[in-house]
């Protein structure tokens, strides 16, 4: 597996990175935080290894996609592999519910407080 | 975790290990209105760019056509990050507001706290579609008018509210997307609005 970033406009290369899979685990939100539970091991696919390196500290799915220069959908597939083998854990967003529902006022108060302190 | 043999890219500031909750706010507006500038002015990291590939069939744009099932669309979007405290991190997404990109929104930005519609008074037409869709999806939003130096016409917020046919309950604010505290004020205006709505909802339950 080559380490260079995939040309995201080229479906053939995406096909290679994902081993031909196109169904992503939709439970990974853009802002789900991913944390590595172990380090890379020899022989691991380079994209998997890079994700484990990046996620030594919590890293959002969208940041992983940007760092790896891969589309979000592809990253979701790779994260599914790592989760299935227990190499990562996911911290899912509390606030991501349906489009029209509001989070509770206590959470929003905390957000406001954080913004005011910037 | 074992000892780190490879370092993170130097430009990338890692989140605190205690970070557990990711939140989203979307900044929407026409081309060149200053979405990325706003994200940049408040983000703690330089704005990053990423892409999503979607098949037409997967988004229900044209589910009946066998040809469409093989068509993929790539859409790029910018984002920035604000660590609110040790546990909460807010991501700001700059998304194109034009009609042809709207199919992305449900998929990518569901669960956003709310939206900022960034308006340039010289091109207000660009905002109509975004506002219409946000109202349709019942996504709470505020309108921020990006005032450039050369914005000599200086339409008042009331005039802009009329022009956009904005309901009275939608907050409006002037801003300069290039200035950090101004961008921060826009976000505070939005979250204040959300907070008021949440309080109202909680007291009627």
Chain B environment of A73 (Cβ under 8 Å): 52-54
Task: Using pLDDT thresholds of 50, 70 and 90, give the confidence band for residue B133.
Answer: confident
Question: What is each CA distance from B166 to B73, B115, B142, B188, in whole angstroms?
Answer: 32, 15, 10, 20
The mean per-residue pLDDT over the stretch B85-111 comes to 80
ipTM value:
0.87
CB contact under 8 A, A96 and B110: yes
CB contact under 8 A, A102 and B194: yes
pLDDT reported for residue A19: 85
Dihedral sign computed on CA atoms, order B175, B181, B187, B191: negative
Terminal-to-terminal C-alpha distance of chain B? 46
Per-residue pLDDT tens for A28-83?
A: 999 999 999 999 999 999 999 999 999 999 999 999 999 999 999 899 999 999 99
Could you tell me which chain A residue has the CA closest to the CA of B196?
A105
Per-residue pLDDT tens for B4-28?
A: 444 444 457 899 999 999 999 999 9
What are the structure tokens assigned to B182, written together? 């101004």
CB contact under 8 A, A102 and B20: no
Chain A environment of B93 (Cβ under 8 Å): 30, 62
Of B68, B66, B54, nearest to B102 (Cα)? Answer: B54
Instruction: State how far Cα B19 lies from the chain centre.
Output: 22
Per-residue pLDDT tens for B165-191?
A: 999 999 999 999 999 999 999 999 999
CA distance B45 to chain A (A): 11
Find where tokens 């407080």 sit. A113
Total-model pTM: 0.87
CB contact under 8 A, A67 and B9: yes
Cα distance between residue B33 and residue B27, in whole Å? 11
């Amino acid at each position: 597996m080559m380490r260079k970033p995939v040309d995201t406009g080229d479906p053939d290369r995406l096909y290679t990175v994902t081993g031909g899979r196109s169904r992503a685990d939709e439970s990974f939100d853009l802002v789900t935080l991913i944390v590595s539970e172990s380090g890379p091991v020899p022989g691991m696919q380079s994209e998997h290894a890079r994700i484990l390196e990046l996620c030594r500290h919590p890293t959002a799915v969208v940041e992983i996609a940007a760092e790896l220069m891969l589309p979000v959908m592809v990253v979701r597939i790779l994260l599914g592999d790592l989760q299935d083998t227990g190499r990562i854990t996911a911290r899912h967003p509390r606030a991501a519910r349906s489009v029209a529902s509001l989070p509770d006022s206590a959470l929003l108060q905390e957000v406001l407080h954080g913004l005011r302190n910037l | 975790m074992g000892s780190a043999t490879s370092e993170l890219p130097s430009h990338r500031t890692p989140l605190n290990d205690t970070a557990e909750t990711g939140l989203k706010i979307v900044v929407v507006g026409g081309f060149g209105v200053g979405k990325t500038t706003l994200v940049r002015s408040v983000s703690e990291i330089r704005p990053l760019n990423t892409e999503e590939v979607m098949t037409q069939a997967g988004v229900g744009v044209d589910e009946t056509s066998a040809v469409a099932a093989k068509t993929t669309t790539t859409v790029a979007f910018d984002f920035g990050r604000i660590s609110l405290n040790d546990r909460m991190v807010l991501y700001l997404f700059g998304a194109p507001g034009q009609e042809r990109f709207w199919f992305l929104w449900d998929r990518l930005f569901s669960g956003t706290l709310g939206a900022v519609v960034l308006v340039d008074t010289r091109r207000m037409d660009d905002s109509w579609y975004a506002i219409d869709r946000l109202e349709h999806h019942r996504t709470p939003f505020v309108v921020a008018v990006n005032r450039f130096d050369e914005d000599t016409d200086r339409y008042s917020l009331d005039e802009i509210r009329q022009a956009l046919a904005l309901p009275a309950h939608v907050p409006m604010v002037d801003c300069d997307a290039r200035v950090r505290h101004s961008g921060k004020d826009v976000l505070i205006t939005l979250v204040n609005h959300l907070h008021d709505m949440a309080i109202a909802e909680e007291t009627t339950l």
